[in-house]
Structure 1
Amino acid sequence: MPPRVILIGPPGAGKSSVGKSLSRLLKEDFVDTDTVIAEQEKQSIGEIFVDKGEPYFREVEEQVLLKQLVEHSGVLSLGGGAPLSTIAQGAIKASGSPVVFLDVTLAGAAPRVGFNRDRPLLLGNPRAQWQELMNVRRPIYESLAHHQLMTDKLTPNEAATAIVTLLS
């Protein structure tokens, strides 16, 4: 059975925290692909990037995504870059699961991301890096999404409640 709902979006949109709140509201299990990867690899995402490189991480991420699309029937939160490959996009679309793009502005993401935590793709000038990621990823997120929710001014519980409304 495919996921009940898939959450996508950039770093700082609230995919993990909203996903946990949403899973409680829907009485469904919650899976975050980044958590699965970290547990499977026995390293943080940042350590994987440093030790094994982004191509290795993206390969593992795609495998985890494909497996979770088949095995997980609850709320599935994807890492920000998980839906980037054409294989991942095709699999997400083929799952038939509703996809919610949790959108956020740079101003909204900044306090959540902190821009000083373990975010390997936001090294250097983190605000510029985040904006560049969004310039590339936004069209992909929008093409996959059945629903889009701006999370800047929402708590995780408010966002989860809004998603329940969107799904009904």
Structure 2
Amino acid sequence: MTGTRPRLVLIGPPGAGKSTVGRLLAEHWGVTFRDTDSDVEATEGRSIPDIFVDDGEDYFRGVERAAVAHALTEHDGVLALGGGAVLDPDTQADLATHTVVFLSVGLADAAGRVGLTTSRPLLLGSPRRQWQQLMDARRGTYERLATSVVPTDRLSPEQVRDAVLEAVSA
């Protein structure tokens, strides 16, 4: 499938609903869903927390960058990027030509959705504080890269899917 491109790329922090809403959008459009975090785990044969512990964040980001680059040129459905994938300058440049939706979420809703547990390597210590610091640091990048921003707080996955469909058809 080389030379294809995603119909839509979803970005946002942990708990925004990228995977859940991405699957609903893919189903709606009759296309496939792909998550670069899953691609990384499949390539490495281990979980993202294990990659962080064994090899560190820099190694993980390199593997993640390769997964994103491949997915952006090989996948024609809905693509969800890991929360930190947008930090890579090459990924930022690549996203400039894609339809990108930032699923925005506040701390309370994110915590309720993912529990903000220590199974997320960048949230070790105080998960809620760490999540807020990550979001504060990344929000501007998410907003700059997005062709649309869809707030997800207090919405069901189906309501978010509908909001995304409205945003990308406008």
TM-score interval (norm. to shorter): over 0.9
- Per mean C-alpha deviation after superposition, the further-off stretch among 122-131 and 153-162 is 153-162
Matches within 5 A, 1:90-105: 90-93=93-96, 96-105=97-106
SS at match of 1:163: helix
Moved >3 Å (runs of 4+): none
Matches within 5 A, 1:40-119: 40-93=43-96, 96-119=97-120
- Scaled by the length of structure 2, the TM-score of the pair is 0.95
Say what the alpha-carbon RMSD is for the aligned residues. Answer: 0.9
Structure 1 residue 13 corresponds to structure 2 residue 31 = no
Relative to structure 1, is the Cα distance of residues 7 and 62 closer, same or farther in structure 2, using a 3 angstrom cutoff?
same
The aligned residue for residue 165 of structure 1 is: 166
The aligned residue for residue 6 of structure 2 is: 3
**Which ranges in structure 1 are unaligned for 5 or more consecutive residues?**
none
Structure 1 residue 38 corresponds to structure 2 residue 41 = yes
Q: Provide the C-alpha distance between the structure 1 equivalents of 2:75 and 2:67, rounded to a whole number of angstroms.
A: 11
Q: How far apart are 1:88 and its partner, in Å? A: 0.8
Letter in 2 for 1:61: E
- Count of residue pairs brought into register by the alignment: 166
The answer (yes or no) to whether the contact 2:118–2:127 under 8 Å persists in 1 is no
Q: Provide the C-alpha distance between the structure 1 equivalents of 2:137 and 2:29, rounded to a whole number of angstroms.
A: 32
The aligned residue for residue 24 of structure 1 is: 27
The aligned residue for residue 137 of structure 2 is: 136
The answer (yes or no) to whether the contact 1:12–1:104 under 8 Å persists in 2 is yes
Q: Provide the C-alpha distance between the structure 1 equivalents of 2:165 and 2:102, rounded to a whole number of angstroms.
A: 14
Q: How far apart are 1:117 and its partner, in Å? A: 4.9
**Which ranges in structure 2 are unaligned for 5 or more consecutive residues?**
none
The answer (yes or no) to whether the contact 1:9–1:103 under 8 Å persists in 2 is yes
Q: Provide the C-alpha distance between the structure 2 equivalents of 1:109 and 1:29, rounded to a whole number of angstroms.
A: 25
Q: Provide the C-alpha distance between the structure 1 equivalents of 2:125 and 2:118, rounded to a whole number of angstroms.
A: 12
Q: Provide the C-alpha distance between the structure 2 equivalents of 1:64 and 1:10, rounded to a whole number of angstroms.
A: 18
Q: Provide the C-alpha distance between the structure 1 equivalents of 2:118 and 2:129, rounded to a whole number of angstroms.
A: 16
SS at match of 1:23: helix
SS at match of 1:64: helix
Structure 1 residue 146 corresponds to structure 2 residue 144 = no
